[in-house]
Amino acid sequence: MKVIALIPARFAATRFPGKLMKVLNGKTILQRTYEAVTQTNLFDEVIVVCDDQRLIDHMHVIGGKAVLSVNEHESGTDRIAEAAIDIEADVIINIQGDEPFISTESLVKVIDLFQDETVQVASLMLPIAEEEKINNPNCVKVVVDKKMRALYFSRSPIPYFRDDSYPKSAYQHIGVYGFRKDVLLAFSKLPVSDLERIEKLENLRMLENGISVHLAVIDHVGISIDTEEDFLKAKAYLDAKGE
């Protein structure tokens, strides 16, 4: 099974513009993510898919492989689908460019799901028990069936706890995706779905079109850098480690 990692990299991030080029203890966030993915030794190739020539130039400086996406895209998945057309691969793993602490263990769990030939899309989920986080719309929740296939993703608390007979707990969706190449290309041709438009979650386009998403459970996730506050947390973490 030939497995390729594609890292979508967008320069003009809404909440933290230019974040991928921010220097985090001597290396840009994008460089740290690229190196973290490469050093897992899980992939036949690691490619950054950029929307801006400045990101391409940066990847060339650090010796990484990158391609420039031609079209405008609503999501990182649509961006990597454009690049995937000309790439020979069985499975493509989509890792966001703002994940400098992505772990080997998490990526192994995604890849291992494809040992089942029926798996179309694979992703990750993390147990959460903090009620504040369950109610936070920036924390995407997921519920699954008995075969660990997603039933629904939402920014709302799911499941809803009707009474106090169960402890309040849920699963957070972690946005690392694996696709069989043909499924990725087919997904990218689908129009934005109603639920996707309502919740602003592209994985709902998958479910609305009958594309199953299998989930694996992880017990830890590194710091994703969505905001300047996340950046400061990441810096404090590296400072504490002396890196």
pLDDT for the residue numbered 226: 86
Query: Looking at the structure, do residues 111 and 42 belong to the same domain, yes or no?
Result: no
- What's the whole-model pTM score? 0.92
User: Does residue 208 lie in a domain region?
Assistant: yes
Confidence of residue 71 (pLDDT cuts 50, 70, 90): low
User: Does residue 24 lie in a domain region?
Assistant: yes
What is the per-residue pLDDT across 111-122, written as a single tens digit (0 to 9) for each? 999 999 999 999
Choosing from 67, 99, 131, the residue where a domain stops is 99
Write the CATH number for 47.
3.90.550.10
pLDDT for the residue numbered 123: 98
Pairing mode, if any, of strands 213-217 and 121-128?
parallel
CA dist., res. 75 & res. 92, Å (int): 16
Choosing from 49, 83, 99, the residue where a domain stops is 99
CA dist., res. 1 & res. 25, Å (int): 36
Confidence of residue 76 (pLDDT cuts 50, 70, 90): confident
User: Does residue 241 lie in a domain region?
Assistant: no
Query: Looking at the structure, do residues 7 and 54 belong to the same domain, yes or no?
Result: yes
Query: Looking at the structure, do residues 71 and 152 belong to the same domain, yes or no?
Result: no
Query: Looking at the structure, do residues 154 and 71 belong to the same domain, yes or no?
Result: no
Domain span at 38: 1-99
- Looking at the predicted structure, is the pLDDT value of residue 64 above 70? yes
User: Does residue 243 lie in a domain region?
Assistant: no
User: Does residue 94 lie in a domain region?
Assistant: yes
Query: Looking at the structure, do residues 114 and 44 belong to the same domain, yes or no?
Result: no
pLDDT for the residue numbered 166: 76
pLDDT for the residue numbered 167: 76
Total domains present in the chain: 2
CA dist., res. 19 & res. 29, Å (int): 7
Query: Looking at the structure, do residues 80 and 145 belong to the same domain, yes or no?
Result: no
What is the per-residue pLDDT across 35-54, written as a single tens digit (0 to 9) for each? 999 999 999 999 999 989 99
- Smallest CA-to-CA distance from 83 within 47, 119, 127 is with 47
Amino acid at 188: S
Query: Looking at the structure, do residues 111 and 210 belong to the same domain, yes or no?
Result: yes
CA dist., res. 65 & res. 47, Å (int): 5
Query: Looking at the structure, do residues 70 and 91 belong to the same domain, yes or no?
Result: yes
Choosing from 47, 78, 99, the residue where a domain stops is 99
Query: Looking at the structure, do residues 152 and 179 belong to the same domain, yes or no?
Result: yes
> End-to-end distance of the chain based on CA atoms, in angstroms?
35
pLDDT above 90 as % of the chain: 81
Q: Quickly list DSSP for the chain.
A: --EEEEEEE-SS-SSSTTGGGSEETTEEHHHHHHHHHHTT---SEEEEEESSHHHHHHHHHTT--EEE--S--SSHHHHHHHHHTT---SEEEE--TT-TT--HHHHHHHHHGGGSTT--EEEEEEEE--HHHHT-TTS-EEEE-TTSBEEEEESS-SS---SSSS---EEEEEEEEEEEHHHHHHHHTSPPPHHHHHHT-THHHHHHTT--EEEEE-S-------SHHHHHHHHHHHHHHT-
pLDDT for the residue numbered 199: 96
What is the per-residue pLDDT across 139-172, written as a single tens digit (0 to 9) for each? 999 999 999 999 999 999 999 988 887 778 899 9
- Smallest CA-to-CA distance from 142 within 162, 157, 164 is with 157
What is the per-residue pLDDT across 79-132, written as a single tens digit (0 to 9) for each? 889 999 989 999 999 999 999 999 999 999 999 999 999 999 999 999 998 889
pLDDT above 70 as % of the chain: 99
CA dist., res. 117 & res. 92, Å (int): 15
CA dist., res. 42 & res. 4, Å (int): 9
CA dist., res. 193 & res. 204, Å (int): 7
Confidence of residue 73 (pLDDT cuts 50, 70, 90): low
Query: Looking at the structure, do residues 88 and 107 belong to the same domain, yes or no?
Result: no
Query: Looking at the structure, do residues 91 and 178 belong to the same domain, yes or no?
Result: no
Please give, one letter per residue, the 3-state secondary structure of 190-218.
Answer: CCCCHHHHHHCCCHHHHHHCCCCEEEEEC
Query: Looking at the structure, do residues 91 and 174 belong to the same domain, yes or no?
Result: no
